[in-house]
Structures are given as structure tokens and as C-alpha cells.
Structure 1
Amino acid sequence: MTSTSTPPGLTRFNALEEHAASAALHEVCASTAWTRRLLAARPYAAPDGLYAASDAAMAELTEADLAEAMAGHPPIGRPEPGDPASAREQSGMSGAGDGLRAEMLELNLAYQERFGHVFLICATGRSAEEMRDAVRERLGNPPEKEREIVRTELGKINRIRLTRLVEED
């Protein structure tokens, strides 16, 4: 891909000084290890290279790295005030009634008690009912299976956020 067809956001990201690029990546994923790997591979000729680097970095995250990444995500149904990304991603919960919101809170707490971290799901495009059904189902998973599901879901979230980063004008 030639530089003229590189999306404007990717061109801008490649040109950022390291601290600014690090901050932009931290908005995508709170894992320091993931951020370091993506920074080390700059510049990216095309979005696919950035996405591949993200996938490779995600695959290599340790349990501690995953915990650090998950700490950057608010519980489903309770996006961080002033965080447009989590509000946008969790918009499926915005129309949920009080009963469903209360049920999600209860399920989130049960999940956190069982696994020791927030329930993580790529919420983009999912309804409140779909998210509730997913947490119900995943509560029965063994911890090692759930850890790999979390890794996959985090990868999906990162891809959506990276796409937004590289396609911004």
C-alpha cells in the first residue's frame, strides 16, 4: 500500500512522538506489554500490519498482562463517566430496563467473585439481553477456558478501537 492510500489516522499515528503514540495505544488497551509491542513495530504501512501486531501481542500477554488490560474496562452496564469509548461500546445497555440493569449488576458481581476480574465482552453491537445471556453462560466456565475467552474478547475490542484510531480524519 502506498502512503497516499494509508488512512489519515494511521499516518498521524505513525508520526506521533513515542509518548503520544503510547498514550493513544493506552486508550485502546491498558496493557503496558501490548502497548510496548505495538510501539516497537512502528511505522505501519497499512492497517492490517497494525492489526496483525495487535493480535500477536494479545496472544503473548501473560496472566498479569491480561489483568492489567482488563483493569482498563468498566463493568458492563456501568461505563466510566467521561469515557466515550466505553459508553459507545456498551450502548446496548442504554435502553435496558431497571430489572435487567439490576440483574447485570448481580451477574457482574458473581462473575467478578468467581474469576477475580470484570466480565469482559466485546459489547459493540450486542443487546443488553445478549450480554446478560453471555455472562450467565460464561459463569460456568473453568477459569482457564474463561481466560482464553477474555483474551479473544479483548482482541476484538482492541481491533474495533484500533480501526477507529486509524480511520479518524
Structure 2
Amino acid sequence: MTSTSPPPGLARFNDLEESVARAALHEACASTAWATRLLAARPYATVADLYTVSDTAMADLTVTDLAEAMAGHPPIGRPKPGDPTSAREQRGMAGASAELKAEMLELNLAYQEKFGHVFLICATGRTGEQMRDAVKERIGNAPEQEREIVRVELGKINRIRLARLVEED
């Protein structure tokens, strides 16, 4: 019986010193509770195992943990300066018109005033118009409903970021 070893990128992640792995996970998601769960489950045999633990950890986040995770995300249309991850993920806003950018700023502010946090969406692959339409649609949600939508969107973002973390060199 032969055992299969994890893909090289995942093996590298499994072997990282805990503080280095924690820092890498913090880049993927600002939730300490989420990162702690993922670290505790190392080593991972497959990327699917990593995703399963990530999804479970995300589902189990408290309201406070979720707020910590959201605090790590800049508003749509205003990626963190010098942060290639947020710039890449928000690429759909890069070529947006000045009018669309101004509208997104207004919508972001209205959303933040209502919910107390930035509008969060898995922006990868979405156009500026799609993001605008999503915030317009979601601003009418009840806070509890919106919190669960945000949890799902964060889970999608985390999977994309984890994939980048463990991809082969």
C-alpha cells in the first residue's frame, strides 16, 4: 500500500513554522479564530481537506470573529495601497468610470452606516456594475440576513486566497 503525499504547495504550507503559517493565513483572512482552526488541523493531506476545515471554521465564527474578518477588507473601489491582493480582487473597479466610482463610494458609505462594516463581496471576476448592483440589492437586507451573506462571501474569498497560498511554485 502506497501513501500519496500532498501537492508540493500544500506540503510546504504544512511544514511552515507556526508563526509563519499564521501570518500567511492572516493575509488570507483577518480572523484569528479561523486561522487558529486551520493551524490546528495541519497537516492536510489534500487541498480539499484544507477547504473543508476553512469552510467549517467560517461557519463557526461568532459575530465578533466575523467582524474581525471583515475588518481586514478594504471598501470596494478603494483597495489598500500597496496591497496586490485587494487590487487584483477588485480589478473589476479599476476601469470603472468616475461616475461609477463615485456611486460606489456613496453606496459603500450608506451600507457601512446601516451595517457597521464595509460592503463585502467576492469581487474576483465581477465588473464594477455587478458589484454596484449587488450592494444596491443587499442594502435592503436585515442585518442578520446580511451577516450570513457576508459569511458566504468571505468563505469564497478565503478559498481563492488559500488556493493561491498552496498553489505549486
Q: Please give the TM-score of this superposition, normalised by the length of structure 1.
A: 0.97
Query: SS in structure 2 opposite 1:75?
Result: coil
* Partner in structure 2 of residue 94 of structure 1: 94
Q: How far off its partner does 1:2 sit?
A: 1.2
Q: What's the counterpart of residue 146 of structure 2?
A: 146
Partner Cα distance (1:140, 1:52) in 2: 31
Alpha carbon RMSD of aligned pairs, Å? 0.8
* Cα-to-partner distance string for 1:110-147 (whole Å, 9 max, x where unaligned): 00000000000000000000000000000000001000
Percent sequence identity is: 77
Residue by residue over 1:80-129, the C-alpha shift from the partner in whole angstroms, topping out at 9 and shown as x without a partner, is 01111100000000110100000000000000000000000000000000
Q: 2:45 maps to what in 1?
A: 45
Whether 1:116 and 2:116 are equivalent positions in the alignment is: yes
CA distance in 2, matches of 1:52, 1:155: 10
Query: Which amino acid in structure 2 is aligned with residue 164 of structure 1?
Result: R
Q: Which consecutive residues of structure 2, in runs of 5 or more, have no partner in the other structure?
A: none
Aligned residue pairs total 167
**Structure 2 length normalisation: TM-score?**
0.97
Hey, what does 1:79 align to over in structure 2? Answer: 79
**Runs of 4 or more above 4 Å deviation:** none
**Amino acid paired to 1:61:** L
The residue that corresponds to 1:67 in the other structure is 67
Q: Give, in whole Å, the separation in 1 of the partners of 2:168 and 2:67.
A: 29
